[in-house]
Amino acid sequence: MVGRFRWAAMFPDEVWEHVFSFLTSDGDRNAAALVCRNWNRIERRSRKRVFVGNCYSVAPTVAVRLFPEVRAAVIKGKPHFADFNLVPSDWGGGAEAWVEAMAEGWPNLEELRFKRMVVSDDCLDLIARSFKNFKVLSLVSCDGFSTSGLAAIAANCRHLRELNLRESEVEETCLNWISHFPEPFTSLVALDIACLEGEVNASILERLISRCSNIMTLRLNHSVPLERLVGLLQRAPQLMDLGTGKFSARHNPQLFSRLESAIVGCKNLRSLSGFWEPGLTYLPAVYSICEGLTSLNLNYATVQNPELVKIISRCKNLRRLLVMDLIEDSGLVAVASSCKLLQELRVFPSDPYDAAEPVSLTEHGLVAVSAGCPMLHSVLYFCRQMTNAALLTVAKNRPNLTCFRLCIIEPHTRDYVTQEPLDTGFSAIVESCKDLRRLSLSGLLTDLVFKSIGASANYLEMLSIAFAGDGDMGLHYILSGCKNLRKLEIRDCPFGDKPLLQNASKLETMRSLWMSSCSVTLGACRQLARAMPRLNVEVINESGRGPLAAQPDNCPVEKLYIYRTIAGPRTDTPQCVWTV
Amino acid sequence: MTPPMEHDYMGVNDTELRLGLPGSNGRVADGGATGGLTLGCAKRGFSDVIHGGSFSEAGEDAGGVTKAAPPPPPAKTQIVGWPPIRSYRKNTIASNSSKNNNDDADAKQGNECHYVKVSMDGAPYLRKVNLNRYSDYKELSLALEKMFTCVTFGSYGVSAREMTTEGRVLDLLQGSEHALTYEDKDGDWMLVGDVPWPMFADSCRRLRIMKGSDAIGIGKAPKAMEKSRIRN
């Protein structure tokens, strides 16, 4: 055996490191690391980028020690359903332990990306002071920090290239944090502050943008008035990605023509977003650059169908479109005929709770786009009605779908023509779309759909289920099939203890499982935790029933989060969370 | 002139959010709904609203697309976290859809709707009213009373100019347990009734039915309102 692998030791480590440097995907590097001990050692010692999908899956100090040369790290915290207020706000996902370990062990860290983590101002301060070559800070869907923390980053990170705060919640404690970027600071390439709710001083921003000649991405918040946007565009005509923030002002023809020229001047614009409260009189100012756009995000623009179509039908090169259901079926028909290169479509509900202003967006729009856009592979679609026939057509038209997320707003909605469940429709999707990686189900569904998914969805990595299924078999089909399943999130389904216990070992092959408002009992959680020491079984009960350790086995579990980990139970659980 | 207060509908259980399944038994309009929120005296009010008043335009079919959609659903329990959209987006949409109708002159001509959300303290659901359908405070008040039966707002029949702000507040407090407030263009919370109707209809972004005790100080000191708004 040793003889067969001796060739690996023929080359010095540096040669193998160089070879590995051509492996760009984490998956490939992981595979190389499993070949033999030598490669394992060489690979991990030379790894520059690390991705931690669950911040509790490994202790920060261990990760830092294993991969000493890391320059870029991505760390994710809370479960996805935290986006929809299903996870208690004090659940965890704090970044301190990670930042402290990184400050200690990765002084050359350049890029840090957090998602759904709680990042405090102290963390930001530590980041600002610890990494002399720090270049990228990305805080997506994070909270726990304020503009004071941002001021520390601005003041100390001399080589900062990217500051991204997408969809984070930021307290406004320091009014002019942007002024903390010192005068000699010129390295900024990307700035996304769209989520900030407070005022941003436009003059200071203008000065910053003027001296950062490499700025490519600028996503503004609502406080920058249209007049000042013109000034910013004039100073940064090289922009590729613009978030307009607000896009309205009093009707003023001079302002309009200045805006239009400024936009025309940005010959490299490929991505547009923002458009909150868009003034109809100003929307036409973007017409001239529509043809060059590859990404258009109008999902906050409460603009009616005619205006939307006027813009979108000019975007012949669009790859990515986010829009509200105000586009309606007729608008999507226009998309299908104009945007032949479309790859990703997301349609959001303009009125998710109240059908007081029903919008004419139905299954027809989805079918039209599936027919007209041959490169469409990613769909997120909110609507109020669906048929199996429509889903079958979509499946037939687009076997290249990799991401299909359909949300029919009313739970348990049937096929409105046949009154049947939507099992056959979704089954057609998983059977036809062999590369499907992500699927979200909705509507009335029985266990039959889960049988199809378990059997056919061989590459499925993430599955979201809500208000579906008849009983335990549904979950059993999923857990006993779906070979590549990584994340499973379930709410309000009649799934109980049996399928969990029967498929316990499956859970170690996955990143995480979330179940809320299902039929799982505490006893099953205890059994599972005993049988699987490398899983953390977290039970969340917010109804104040008293210490969970004292509850009987048949006590129902409100919310359950199970994830694999080599770090053991975590030490920062709040009162309502108990690691069984 | 205020009708006698009906029984206090805000029993503790009524304000509890339940994860009932609205498709089956959570609808307010159903009798004896076990899984959902029930407001005993409000049932009648909702069916009136659905089949009669301001939401009748929901039945119009635009664009010629055949829809075999069921009639607009009655008010339902708001399920926690459903539909799955970010709360970030919810807040933006809520302020957007009313702001958009205000700011743009072009939009106003073609758009006869000025929907604003109406929330009531203690009730987990929101309603919407189209301010353009009413010509004065009295009509609005009546519509809201119908929508949220068991609540009265004192008399708006009296011209706003004839009463001081203080007088208005006291009148409301004496006549009812609730006060009607609104958020204006500047983000301040004001008592409804203090400005001429057209000015109100133009600047109103959101309505909120507050408990009378919380309404003291509104309209005079917007900053003070901040605190109770944050608290709520």
Token pair 């009649």 in the structure block, residue? A494
Give the three-class secondary structure for B138.
helix
**In the predicted model, is pLDDT for residue B17 greater than 50?**
no
List the 63-102 stretch of B: residues with Cβ below 8 A of A.
Answer: 63, 65, 67-70, 72-73, 78-90, 92-93, 96-97, 99-100
- Mention every residue, 6+ apart, whose C-beta is less than 8 A from residue B71: B50, B59
Whole-number pLDDT of residue A227 = 92
Whole-number pLDDT of residue B31 = 35
* Number of other residues whose CB lies within 10 A of the CB of residue A456: 20
Residues A384, B55: C-beta atoms closer than 8 Å: no
C-alpha distances in Å from residue B176, one per residue of B118, B172, B211 = 18, 6, 9
Q: Which helix (H) or strand (E) holds B141?
A: helix B137-147
The Cα of A85 is separated from the nearest Cα of chain B by a number of Å equal to 6
Among A305, A354, A386, pick the best mutation site for testing chain B contact (most B Cβ within 10 A): A354
- Mention every residue, 6+ apart, whose C-beta is less than 8 A from residue B69: A358, A384, A385, A416
Half-sphere exposure at residue B12, Cβ-oriented, CA atoms within 13 angstroms:
0
One-letter amino acid of B148: F
Give the separation between CA A71 and CA A154, rounded to whole angstroms. 20
Whole-number pLDDT of residue B63 = 35
Whole-number pLDDT of residue A85 = 87
Give the separation between CA A519 and CA A507, rounded to whole angstroms. 18
Nearest CA in chain A to B96: A277
Average of per-residue pLDDT across B97-114 = 43
Nearest by CB to residue A360, choosing from B65, B105, B107, is B65
Dump pLDDT digits (tens) for A59-95.
999 999 999 999 999 999 999 999 998 999 889 999 9
Residues A354, B87: C-beta atoms closer than 8 Å: no
Nearest by CB to residue A356, choosing from B78, B81, B128, is B128
Q: Judge if ipTM > 0.90.
A: no
Whole-number pLDDT of residue B212 = 65
Q: Using a CB-CB distance cutoff of 8 angstroms, which residues of chain A are in contact with residue B116?
A: none
Residues B103, A280: C-beta atoms closer than 8 Å: no
Residues B68, A407: C-beta atoms closer than 8 Å: no
Token pair 């109804």 in the structure block, residue? A543
Among A357, A406, A416, pick the best mutation site for testing chain B contact (most B Cβ within 10 A): A357
The Cα of B23 is separated from the nearest Cα of chain A by a number of Å equal to 6
For chain A, give percent helix, strand, coil, nearest 5: 35, 20, 45
Residues B96, A276: C-beta atoms closer than 8 Å: yes
Q: Which helix (H) or strand (E) holds A389?
A: helix A388-397
Nearest by CB to residue A356, choosing from B55, B61, B63, is B55
For chain B, give percent helix, strand, coil, nearest 5: 40, 10, 50
The Cα of B158 is separated from the nearest Cα of chain A by a number of Å equal to 31
Average of per-residue pLDDT across A172-183 = 91
Give the separation between CA A135 and CA A158, rounded to whole angstroms. 8
**In the predicted model, is pLDDT for residue B220 greater than 80?**
no
| Chain-centre distance for alpha carbon A209 | 28
Q: Using a CB-CB distance cutoff of 8 angstroms, which residues of chain B are in contact with residue A279?
A: 103-104
Give the separation between CA A171 and CA A192, rounded to whole angstroms. 16
- Mention every residue, 6+ apart, whose C-beta is less than 8 A from residue A80: A116, A464, A487, A489, A514
Beta-strand runs (E) in A31-144: 49-52, 72-76, 111-115, 136-140
Among B65, B77, B78, B82, pick the best mutation site for testing chain A contact (most A Cβ within 10 A): B82
Average pLDDT value for chain A? 94
Whole-number pLDDT of residue A174 = 85
Token pair 């805000």 in the structure block, residue? B10
The sign of the torsion formed by the CA atoms of A7, A13, A19, A21 equals positive
Choose the weakest-confidence range: A38-47, A323-332, A343-352, B112-121.
B112-121
Cis, peptide link before residue B83, omega less than 30° from 0: yes
Whole-number pLDDT of residue A156 = 97
One-letter amino acid of B202: D
**In the predicted model, is pLDDT for residue A303 greater than 50?**
yes
Residues A85, B106: C-beta atoms closer than 8 Å: no
Counting one residue from chain A and one from chain B, the pairs whose CB atoms sit within 8 A come to 132
Give the separation between CA A492 and CA B20, rounded to whole angstroms. 9
Q: Using a CB-CB distance cutoff of 8 angstroms, which residues of chain B are in contact with residue A412?
A: 21, 23-24
Among B24, B93, B126, pick the best mutation site for testing chain A contact (most A Cβ within 10 A): B93
Whole-number pLDDT of residue B218 = 59
Are A140 and A119 in contact by the 8 Å Cβ rule? The answer is no
- Main-chain dihedrals φ then ψ at residue B195, nearest 5 degrees: -120, 160
Whole-number pLDDT of residue B10 = 38
Bridge partners of A372, per DSSP, are: none
Single out the residue of A171, A202, A81 nearest to residue A540, CA to CA. A81
DSSP codes, B168-209: HHHHHHHH-SEEEEEE-TTS-EEETTSS-HHHHHHH--EEEE
Give the separation between CA B27 and CA A23, rounded to whole angstroms. 56
Single out the residue of A82, A115, A119 nearest to residue A97, CA to CA. A119
Choose the weakest-confidence range: A129-133, B68-72, B81-85.
B68-72
Average pLDDT value for chain B? 55
Nearest by CB to residue B84, choosing from A84, A356, A358, is A84
The Cα of B71 is separated from the nearest Cα of chain A by a number of Å equal to 10
Is the CB of B22 inside 8 Å of chain A's CB atoms?
yes
Residues A412, B126: C-beta atoms closer than 8 Å: no
Nearest by CB to residue A276, choosing from B21, B92, B127, is B92
- Of A15-29, A466-480, B208-222, the range with the highest mean pLDDT is A466-480
Residue B149, classified by CB atoms within 10 Å of its CB into exposed (0-12), middle (13-18) or buried (19+), is buried
Give the separation between CA B30 and CA B37, rounded to whole angstroms. 11
Residue B23, classified by CB atoms within 10 Å of its CB into exposed (0-12), middle (13-18) or buried (19+), is middle
Give the three-class secondary structure for B210.
strand
Are A480 and A455 in contact by the 8 Å Cβ rule? The answer is no
The Cα of A466 is separated from the nearest Cα of chain B by a number of Å equal to 9
Is the CB of B104 inside 8 Å of chain A's CB atoms?
yes
Per-residue tokens: B85: 């959209």
Dump pLDDT digits (tens) for A113-168.
999 999 999 999 999 999 999 999 999 999 999 999 999 999 999 999 999 999 99
Q: Using a CB-CB distance cutoff of 8 angstroms, which residues of chain B are in contact with residue A416?
A: 68-70
Nearest CA in chain A to B87: A84
- Main-chain dihedrals φ then ψ at residue A192, nearest 5 degrees: -120, 100
Residues B62, A281: C-beta atoms closer than 8 Å: no
The sign of the torsion formed by the CA atoms of A299, A303, A304, A310 equals negative
Token pair 């000649």 in the structure block, residue? A213
Label each residue of A81-113 as H, E or C.
Answer: HHHHCCCCCCCCCECHHHHHHHHHHCCCCCEEE
Single out the residue of B59, B53, B203 nearest to residue B133, CA to CA. B53
Whole-number pLDDT of residue A355 = 59
Give the separation between CA B36 and CA B96, rounded to whole angstroms. 30
Give the three-class secondary structure for A178.
helix
- Using 50, 70 and 90 to split pLDDT, how confident is the model at B208? confident
Among B56, B98, B104, B129, pick the best mutation site for testing chain A contact (most A Cβ within 10 A): B104
Nearest by CB to residue A352, choosing from B58, B85, B88, is B85
* Number of other residues whose CB lies within 10 A of the CB of residue A7: 8
Residues B97, A302: C-beta atoms closer than 8 Å: yes
List the 114-153 stretch of B: residues with Cβ below 8 A of A.
Answer: 115, 125-128
Residues A382, B83: C-beta atoms closer than 8 Å: yes
Task: Tell me the pairing of strands A111-115 and A136-140.
Answer: parallel
C-alpha distances in Å from residue A129, one per residue of A37, A154, B113 = 36, 11, 53
Give the separation between CA A233 and CA A192, rounded to whole angstroms. 15
- Using 50, 70 and 90 to split pLDDT, how confident is the model at B126? low
Per-residue tokens: A157: 């990170």
Give the separation between CA A342 and CA A367, rounded to whole angstroms. 14
For residue A544, is it left (φ>0), alpha (ψ between -120 and 50) or beta?
A: left
Whole-number pLDDT of residue B121 = 74
Are A224 and A202 in contact by the 8 Å Cβ rule? The answer is yes
Nearest by CB to residue B106, choosing from A280, A351, A362, is A280
One-letter amino acid of A483: K
The sign of the torsion formed by the CA atoms of A547, A553, A559, A562 equals positive
Give the three-class secondary structure for A400.
coil
DSSP codes, A312-357: HTT-TT-SEEEEEGGGHHHHHHHHHHH-TT--EEEEE-SSSS-TTS
Give the three-class secondary structure for A211.
helix
Nearest CA in chain B to A300: B93
Per-residue tokens: B153: 């707002």
One-letter amino acid of B77: T
